[in-house]
């Protein structure tokens, strides 16, 4: 699994994803988007806790995603003084395109599996990831 993660974050894969998707997002930004997609809207402090990062780090990364329209911040329904962050439709679209490009690149690299097999493998890996993030 770690080899697959390293491959997906390699310079070649990242450059091709950026070319096709039209955005060069760092791995940390993609992890945040994936987390919101799996877990739903959360306070920044909860995101930081789940991802084992400092609140200031999470806030800084989320600021960039917000300015790109990939996440949004709204008032927390439980406490209007706080805010919750959620992935936007554009954020979901970007993630879907990133996954599609990575899946295609992996299929090219490994060759013999059918697109359907790669799609199923990607679904399994997504479920594993969601479970690891505590959403499954």
pLDDT for position 135: 54
Per-residue confidence (pLDDT) for residue 51, from 0 to 100: 82
Categorize the per-residue pLDDT at 14 as very low, low, confident or very high, splitting at 50, 70 and 90.
confident
The Cα-based distances of 121 to 47, 107, 124 in angstroms read 27, 11, 5
Residue whose token pair is 């003084």: 81
Q: What is the pLDDT of residue 75?
A: 86
Q: In the predicted model, is pLDDT for residue 27 greater than 70?
A: yes
Other C-beta atoms closer than 10 Å to the C-beta of 122 total 16
- pLDDT, tens digit, 9 for 90 and up, residues 82-97: 789 999 999 999 999 9
pLDDT tens string 109-135: 777 777 788 788 888 888 887 777 665
pTM for this prediction: 0.74
Indicate the domain borders of the chain. 2-132
Our CA angle for 47, 4, 17, nearest 5°, is: 75
> Which fold would CATH assign to domain 2-132?
Arc Repressor Mutant, subunit A (1.10.10)
Q: What is the DSSP letter of 10?
A: S
- What is the structure's pLDDT at 1? 62
Percent of the chain with pLDDT over 90: 36
Three-class secondary structure assignment of 31-94: HHHHHHHHHCCECHHHHHHHHCCCHHHHHHHHHHHHHCCCEEEEEECCEEEEEEEEECHHHHHH
The set of residues, in sequence order, having a beta carbon less than 8 Å from that of 107 and lying 6+ positions away, is: 113, 115, 118
Share of the chain above pLDDT 70, in %: 94
Mean pLDDT of the chain: 86
């Amino acid at each position: 699994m770690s080899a697959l993660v390293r491959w997906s974050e390699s310079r070649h894969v990242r450059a091709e994803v950026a070319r096709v998707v039209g955005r060069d997002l760092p791995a940390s930004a993609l992890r945040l988007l994936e987390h919101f997609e799996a877990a739903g809207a959360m306070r920044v402090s909860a995101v930081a806790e789940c991802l084992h990062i400092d609140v200031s780090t999470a806030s800084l990364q989320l600021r960039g995603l917000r300015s790109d329209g990939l996440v949004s911040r709204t008032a927390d329904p439980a406490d209007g003084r706080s805010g919750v962050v959620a992935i936007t439709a554009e954020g979901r679209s970007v993630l879907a395109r990133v996954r599609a490009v990575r899946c295609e690149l992996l299929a090219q690299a490994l060759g013999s599996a059918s697109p359907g097999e790669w799609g199923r493998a990607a679904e399994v890996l997504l479920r594993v990831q969601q479970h690891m993030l505590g959403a499954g």
